[in-house]
Amino acid sequence: MPLDPPAQDTGERRSSAGPAGPPERGAGRRALALTGSILLVLLCAFFVFSSGGIHSGEDSILPPALRGYAMIGAFAMAGASLLLIWRRRWPVAIALGLIILTALVPTSPLPALVALPSAIAATTGLRRWGLVVGAYAATVISLAWDIGATTSLLSAFIRSPAAGTPERLALYWVMPAIAAFAIAPFVAVGVVRRLRLERDEARQGTAAAERSIAVLHQEVELERHRQELARELHDTLAARLSTLSLHAGALEMTVGETDERTTAAARAVRESAQGSLDDLRQVVRELRSPDLPESGRSSLAGLSALIDDAARHGTDVRAQLFVPDPESCDPRVAHAAFRLVQEAISNLRRHAPSSALHLEVRGGPETGLTLRTANWPEPGGGTPSTVGGGNGLLGMAERAELLGGVFQAGATTEGSFAMYCWLPWSPPTAPGSSAPLR
């Protein structure tokens, strides 16, 4: 009679994957950046080999030993220039290496200057300005090598005076200013990058703070609603249940032994009202102080008592319980299972009081917890014994969903009404999942 279990009975919940998204937009930007880096490497290699040819050529003023040293330095710098492709991945190491190499060999300072902006953007404080001073010193040394050479690239801007002439020697006086002028654009680019990075970090921090504030506002609003709900439950429903319990007790004492059936009915009403009042008080306590240690939760071990109590009140419950280790079940799952069985018994009393409820509860850590109920409808299609809001099945489905479980209920092909529910033995922790479900 129970509904056929869906695929989730094994505890494996499958999530459907959506269609693959469009290609990442950053791919084109990365390809463009790689192309630009390669062009920069070629440009640096051109200036490096030009400078190396000047210092190692036959007309160089350097002695033969230093000419070979200049040629080796040119190849070394050209090879090191290839590292500019990865200057954003290892900015400080690459910039520092190129600065040292520029200061040691007669070559062009362009590779070191190209690596400088990324290093500036990645550093702060003394490290940043240490790199700037180092690059400036290396540029001054490189310009000094160029001014002293037979063919000077710098002297081409002043009609290329010959080496050793006063016009050529005058360049040494303006060399610090020229070096500062050469390095300034690269330093500016690095500082701008650093400022943009700090701006983006500040925006991310602001967005995170705004999200945190919004979450706090929601929690405050939720807490206000919890307190308001607790007050309303205590002032209305708790008061009415107390009054009902009081009147039932008075009726029980008034009738006494003159009418045993009326006395038993009054006692049942009083006990039921008192039990409901105890549950309501527990709910109110947890609404007002949700962080207090959990107490009063129902468990799987209490199912037997629940079924026996239903039998004492005339409800025919034919149960099969197969839970070898109920104590290891998560308290939230055990509490939800107890409430589901309790609601199933209440629905039977309301819709089919003369029928029997077939109940099966089984499970363990490997398979999860499975609940099945089935009952035949009231003969002749009787009306419900009480008027309710119709939220019982909805509440049962919500309990299962909040714990990551599955719930089904409805008429079977045989004409009976069946309920199926699967709950994980230990549900994943989620925000708000620690709160008990009443």
C-alpha distances out from residue 327 to 95, 133, 279, 438, Å: 63, 70, 21, 20
The pLDDT, as a whole number, for residue 199 is 92
Between 226 and 114, whose confidence is greater? 114
Look at residues 169, 197, 232 and tell me which one is the last residue of a structural domain: 169
Tell me the residue type at 408: Q
Looking at the 3D structure of the chain, how many domains does it have?
Answer: 2
The pLDDT, as a whole number, for residue 14 is 40
Residue 347 belongs to some domain of the structure = yes
The pLDDT, as a whole number, for residue 325 is 85
Mean pLDDT rounded to a whole number for the chain: 80
Provide the pLDDT confidence category of residue 111 given band limits of 50, 70 and 90: very high
CA dist 77 and 165 (Å) reads: 30
Residue 377 belongs to some domain of the structure = yes
62 lies in which domain range?
A: 31-169
Question: In 3D, which of 131, 126, 104, 127 has the Cα closest to residue 115?
Answer: 131
Is the model's pLDDT at 261 over the cut of 90? no
Q: In the chain, what is the straight-line distance between the N-terminal and C-terminal CA atoms, in Å? A: 29
pTM, two decimals, is 0.51
Highest mean pLDDT among 100-109, 154-163, 224-233, 296-305: 100-109
Residue 392 belongs to some domain of the structure = yes
Angle between helices 260-288 and 238-255 (to 10 degrees): 160
The pLDDT, as a whole number, for residue 274 is 74
Q: Mind listing the pLDDT tens digit for each residue in 326-372?
A: 888 888 899 889 889 988 988 888 888 888 999 999 998 888 999 99
Residue 407 belongs to some domain of the structure = yes
Is the model's pLDDT at 63 over the cut of 90? no
**Contact present, 102 and 112 (Cβ < 8 Å):** yes
State whether residue 295 is helix, strand or coil. Answer: coil
The pLDDT, as a whole number, for residue 391 is 67
The pLDDT, as a whole number, for residue 418 is 92
CATH number at residue 412: 3.30.565.10
Q: Return the H-helix or E-strand segment holding 31.
A: helix 26-56
Residue 77 belongs to some domain of the structure = yes
Sequence-distant contacts of 290-298: CB under 8 A, at least 24 apart: 290/226, 290/435, 294/331, 294/436, 297/331, 297/334, 297/335, 297/436, 298/334, 298/335, 298/338, 298/339, 298/342
Which runs of consecutive H residues, i.e. helices, occur in 302-391? 303-312, 331-351
Look at residues 169, 191, 207 and tell me which one is the last residue of a structural domain: 169
Is the model's pLDDT at 402 over the cut of 80? yes
Centroid of chain to Cα 349: 45
Is the model's pLDDT at 180 over the cut of 70? yes
- Supply the DSSP string of 196-223, one letter for each residue: HHHHHHHHHHHHHHHHHHHHHHHHHHHH
Between 395 and 230, whose confidence is greater? 395
Between 268 and 337, whose confidence is greater? 337
The pLDDT, as a whole number, for residue 435 is 43
Residue 43 belongs to some domain of the structure = yes
Between 88 and 11, whose confidence is greater? 88
Q: What is the mean pLDDT of residues 175-196?
A: 91
Is the model's pLDDT at 396 over the cut of 90? no
- Say what percent of the chain tops pLDDT 70: 84
Centroid of chain to Cα 307: 43
Both tokens of residue 158? 């002043």
Q: What is the mean pLDDT of residues 198-206?
A: 91
Q: What share of the chain is helix, strand, coil (3-state, %, to 5)?
A: 65, 10, 30
Q: What is the mean pLDDT of residues 395-402?
A: 87
**Contact present, 382 and 401 (Cβ < 8 Å):** no
Residue 193 belongs to some domain of the structure = no
Angle between helices 331-351 and 303-312 (to 10 degrees): 20
Look at residues 126, 142, 169 and tell me which one is the last residue of a structural domain: 169
CA dist 211 and 188 (Å) reads: 34
> For residue 248, what are the contacts with CB-CB under 8 A and spacing of at least 6?
266, 267, 269, 270, 273
The pLDDT, as a whole number, for residue 13 is 43
Q: What is the mean pLDDT of residues 257-282?
A: 74
CA dist 139 and 183 (Å) reads: 8
How many other C-beta atoms can be found within 10 angstroms of the C-beta atom of residue 129? 13
The pLDDT, as a whole number, for residue 23 is 47
CA dist 154 and 298 (Å) reads: 89
Residue 145 belongs to some domain of the structure = yes
The pLDDT, as a whole number, for residue 195 is 92
Is the model's pLDDT at 306 over the cut of 80? yes
Between 4 and 126, whose confidence is greater? 126
The pLDDT, as a whole number, for residue 383 is 53
3-state secondary structure 229-291: HHHHHHHHHHHHHHHHHHHHHHHHHHHCCCCHHHHHHHHHHHHHHHHHHHHHHHHHHHHHCCC
CA angle 173, 176, 178 (to 5 degrees): 95
